[in-house]
Structure 1
Amino acid sequence: MTTQNLKPLQNLLGYTFKNEKLLQIALTHRSCLNEPGVTESYERLEFLGDAVLEMIISVYLFNKYPDKMEGYLTAARSATVRTESLSKISKDHGIDTYIIMSKGEESTGGRNNPSILEDVIESLIGALYCDGGLDAANQFFKNFILPNAESIINENQLKDAKSLLQEKAQSKGFVSPLYKTVKESGPDHNKTFEVVVLVNDKEITTGSGKSKQEAEQNAAKKAVELI
């Protein structure tokens, strides 16, 4: 696998890695693991970055909203770091163009897969934390995530589609919605899930996505308009 020039990305990040290998790993999708010279994908760094980001956003919200209770803070954190929010950052800043993936993964839409775009944001945070500590990770948060946080964190956007459907069902005296996965297709690294949502044991509609969570949210979005 050819090593790409990562200087432009480091300029974008506003951070120069002492160990550039960390940045290379943070961008490497597991589809490349069978290629010569590739021994590690971004998944371990993603695991770390997810935890670091959760801590950073939790501290930010705790200090920003001293009068808000735990439920509000949890919803605000979820809205800020959900797949839709993080994948948009990857696209908006061109970070997606640096992701290293196999030709097969790319041909099946991997570079536009929201889950992969989200994963790379988290793996970058993990790499920054390993290379430059909490200060480097926190600077990424301030530069790339925080600018969108205020527009995301408002009363109308904190509730996701499943929460809205739950509330609407309860307001009509229905039992809580039930989600069932009815179909999985595609290879393990690029699956598509189809989910049906039921209210009062009645099938309302279906939704699909690259994860079960995404499929459930898409089904709930449609169901809110139908019950």
Structure 2
Amino acid sequence: MNPLEERMGYKFRNGLLLAEALTHPSISLERKNYPFDNQRLEFLGDAVIQLVVTEHLYRLYPDFSEGQMTKLRTRIVSRPALKAHAVLMDLGRYLMMGRGEEASGGRERASTLADAFESVVGAIYLDGGFDAARNFVLRETLDDFERIAKNPEEVNPKGTLQEILQAIEPCAPAYEVVEQTGPDHSKHFVSKVIWSEIELGRGEGLSKKQAQVAAASDALDRQLWLRKDKRSGTAASV
């Protein structure tokens, strides 16, 4: 694991933690009584990443509201963002998984790579403590924070929402007008956004486009897609 540790900038004292972080649950389907997989570390790592990013945003933007910081955090800890970090680390190459999972493209799957990144963070936290995990997360997300510093306001909530959802399931969100009031020269629209039979959010505006953007922003705040993602057996970080 030395090349991976060099890329991570962290040397494990307990190498078994790194091995656990890189073990996909599918391996237990082919090897009975396999001692571990990375699901518990993924759960822990998700919480550590959320805390590190939240704390850093809190300090960087003292004048931002809770809603603004939530949207910024979503841009950093979304599944596509975590997958991108895993790809840069070449984590897929090091994963231990069942042959069936590998044959179906598991090493490149967004959920697998994002989960592995979270698991690595959880392993670093257990091995070296919070400061070690915090340093690792902030190093890996440095470019994300720099992009946010250049453009802290979310300018494309519809695009962000679609990117997050299609990393989970290859179907785009749909927008529907649920209410339309007012005279022709001064219409008021209420729209909802639906994905995979789930209503994710609603928004209002003076045009259909404004209402759709507001609905997407509401969906990003509520993050209701997590319910489906948990039922599907994966753990999203958004």
TM-score (norm 2): 0.67
Q: How many residues align?
A: 186
Deviation at 1:174, TM superposition (A): 4.0
Identity of aligned residues (%): 35
Contact in 2 for aligned 1:42/1:123 (Cα 8 Å): yes
Q: Does 1:14 align with 2:9?
A: yes
Deviation at 1:23, TM superposition (A): 0.3
Deviation at 1:178, TM superposition (A): 4.5
Contact in 2 for aligned 1:87/1:117 (Cα 8 Å): yes
Q: Does 1:115 align with 2:115?
A: no
Deviation at 1:21, TM superposition (A): 0.3
Residue 176 of structure 1 aligns to a residue in which SS?
A: strand
Given the alignment, which residue of 177, 195, 198 partners 2:192?
Answer: 177
Contact in 1 for aligned 2:53/2:73 (Cα 8 Å): yes
Q: Deviations over 1:21-40 (max 9, x none)?
A: 00000010000014267221
Question: Within 1, Cα distance between the matches of 2:141 and 2:78?
Answer: 11
Deviation at 1:173, TM superposition (A): 4.0
Question: Within 1, Cα distance between the matches of 2:44 and 2:56?
Answer: 19
Aligned to 1:59: 55
Q: Deviations over 1:44-93 (max 9, x none)?
A: 00000000111100110000011111111011011100001110111122
Over 3 Å counting, the alpha-carbon distance change for 1:77 and 1:23 in structure 2 is: same
What stretches of structure 1 of length at least 5 have no aligned partner? 1-5, 183-194, 200-211, 217-227
AA aligned to 1:55 is L
Contact in 2 for aligned 1:32/1:101 (Cα 8 Å): yes
Question: Within 2, Cα distance between the matches of 1:106 and 1:163?
Answer: 28
AA aligned to 2:124 is L
Residue 131 of structure 2 aligns to a residue in which SS?
A: helix
Question: Within 2, Cα distance between the matches of 1:128 and 1:86?
Answer: 16
Residue 125 of structure 1 aligns to a residue in which SS?
A: helix
Question: Within 2, Cα distance between the matches of 1:51 and 1:103?
Answer: 30
Deviates more, 1:72-81 or 1:89-98: 89-98
Q: Does 1:33 align with 2:28?
A: yes
Over 3 Å counting, the alpha-carbon distance change for 1:144 and 1:71 in structure 2 is: same
Contact in 2 for aligned 1:29/1:42 (Cα 8 Å): yes
Deviates more, 1:80-89 or 1:33-42: 33-42
Aligned to 1:47: 43
Contact in 2 for aligned 1:79/1:158 (Cα 8 Å): no
Question: Within 2, Cα distance between the matches of 1:134 and 1:61?
Answer: 17
Question: Within 1, Cα distance between the matches of 2:174 and 2:190?
Answer: 9
What stretches of structure 2 of length at least 5 have no aligned partner? 163-172, 181-186, 203-223, 229-238
Deviation at 1:143, TM superposition (A): 1.8
Deviation at 1:177, TM superposition (A): 2.2
Deviation at 1:117, TM superposition (A): 0.8
